[in-house]
Structure 1
Amino acid sequence: MDVRRVVTGHDASGKSVFVSDEKVAPRVPVLLPGSEFTLLWGGDTTPQFPDDGSMPSWHTYFPPIGGFRFSMFTLPPGAAAASEPEEIDAEAALADAEEKLPGLLAYMDPSDAGMHTTDTIDFEVVLEGTVILELDDGAEVTLHPGDTVVQNGTRHRWRNPGDVPARLALFVVGAEHANVTRD
């Protein structure tokens, strides 16, 4: 689903203006069938105003300290997430994921599918469907539309136990984390 993004900014005299109004298509990595990542806005440094409303530069899926990301994430039902394409070129699929979601795979635990720890604080809102948030000790919480999460750099994974896709809105801020190092 394309998401509408309306952006405001300031003209040369400092007056508030609408800068853009457009649809943003999701990124759909081959490695995660049924998942969609709609990257709406982000920056690697602290914003400064007034601005012209153009998107700041950013380089990786997760922001550095002082950076931020705003996105939507669609998680397919459990059965869809477990299925894999019949034939997949692993090297091409990894390159596809790195192109569409730069740096994301580096945070994933290769020995425990879906588990990851980031050096970010994540603010999440469930918009549609049902999701389960699981922490590293197996503790789980089931979340429904309207439920929110403040994720403080914890090791976790997401699952969709339902039979329809689940959609979450995310705002992510880079933070210092003693147990996470960046390459």
Structure 2
Amino acid sequence: MDVRRVVTGHNASGRSVFVSDESVAPRKPVLLPGSEFTMLWGGDTTPQFPDDGSMPNWHNYFPPVGGFRFSMFTLPPGTAEARTDDLSTEEAIADGEQKLPGLLGYMELDDPGMHTTDTIDFEVVLDGTVILELDDGVEMTLNPGDTVVQNGTRHRWKNPGDVPARLALFVCGAHHEKVKRPG
């Protein structure tokens, strides 16, 4: 899916203007074959307006308190595909860190896919079917149009279907007494 991002801002006299209209390519980490992460917008601080519509500074996949991220996530069908690249494990981890800074630090190595973040995540299923599993094994099946408000819970995503599932996400940084921010 081609993702188009249209951005507005303000000109020198404070009037509303279109600043950009462009396609945004997904990031495809080799550690997660078939997964795509389309990073659309983000910032590490609360925005102030009027502004010129430039992309705010942001550093990690998950935002700090006061920060935010807007993205799309595509989850491949079924179980994870085998990697077909020729990268060493260290090179694949470096690729993941370069494409999605800080994300891997939240993932549980002993329970693949399970993670807890210090964020509030607002998610909308756009295509396909996903299963959201919480830490006690309870699962909820979600279909297009379904939404989730994820309040810093331990969870993992699964795609039980035979087509990719796509979600839109808006993520806000939050305080979480049980999550130590990686890095």
TM-score clears 0.5: yes
Alignment match, 1:75? 75
Distance 1:93 1:22 in 2: 29
After superposition, what is the alpha-carbon deviation per residue over 1:70-105, rounded to whole angstroms, capped at 9, x for unaligned?
0000000014x2433375410110000000000000
Distance 2:111 2:2 in 1: 31
Alignment match, 2:13? 13
* 5+ long unaligned stretches in structure 1: none
Alignment match, 2:103? 104
Q: How far off its partner does 1:181 sit? A: 1.0
Alignment match, 2:29? 29
Distance 1:54 1:95 in 2: 28
Q: Is the CA contact 2:4–2:24 (under 8 Å) kept in the aligned structure 1?
A: yes
Alignment match, 1:90? 89
Identity between Structure 1 and Structure 2 (%): 79
* 5+ long unaligned stretches in structure 2: none
Please list, as runs of the form range in 1=range in 2, the aligned pairs for 1:86-165 lying within 5 A after superposition: 88-165=87-164
After superposition, what is the alpha-carbon deviation per residue over 1:6-37, rounded to whole angstroms, capped at 9, x for unaligned?
00000000000000000000000000000000
Distance 1:98 1:22 in 2: 25
User: Aligned with 1:54: secondary structure?
Assistant: coil
Distance 2:67 2:103 in 1: 15
Show structure 1 runs of 4+ deviating over 2 A.
82-88
Q: TM-score, normalised by structure 2?
A: 0.97
Distance 2:12 2:138 in 1: 52
After superposition, what is the alpha-carbon deviation per residue over 1:91-135, rounded to whole angstroms, capped at 9, x for unaligned?
110000000000000000000000000000000000000000000
Does residue 65 of structure 2 align to residue 65 of structure 1? Answer: yes
Q: Look up the equivalent residue of 1:176 and give its one-letter code.
A: H
Distance 1:37 1:82 in 2: 16
Q: Look up the equivalent residue of 2:130 and give its one-letter code.
A: V
> What is the count of residue pairs matched by the alignment?
182
Q: TM-score, normalised by structure 1?
A: 0.97
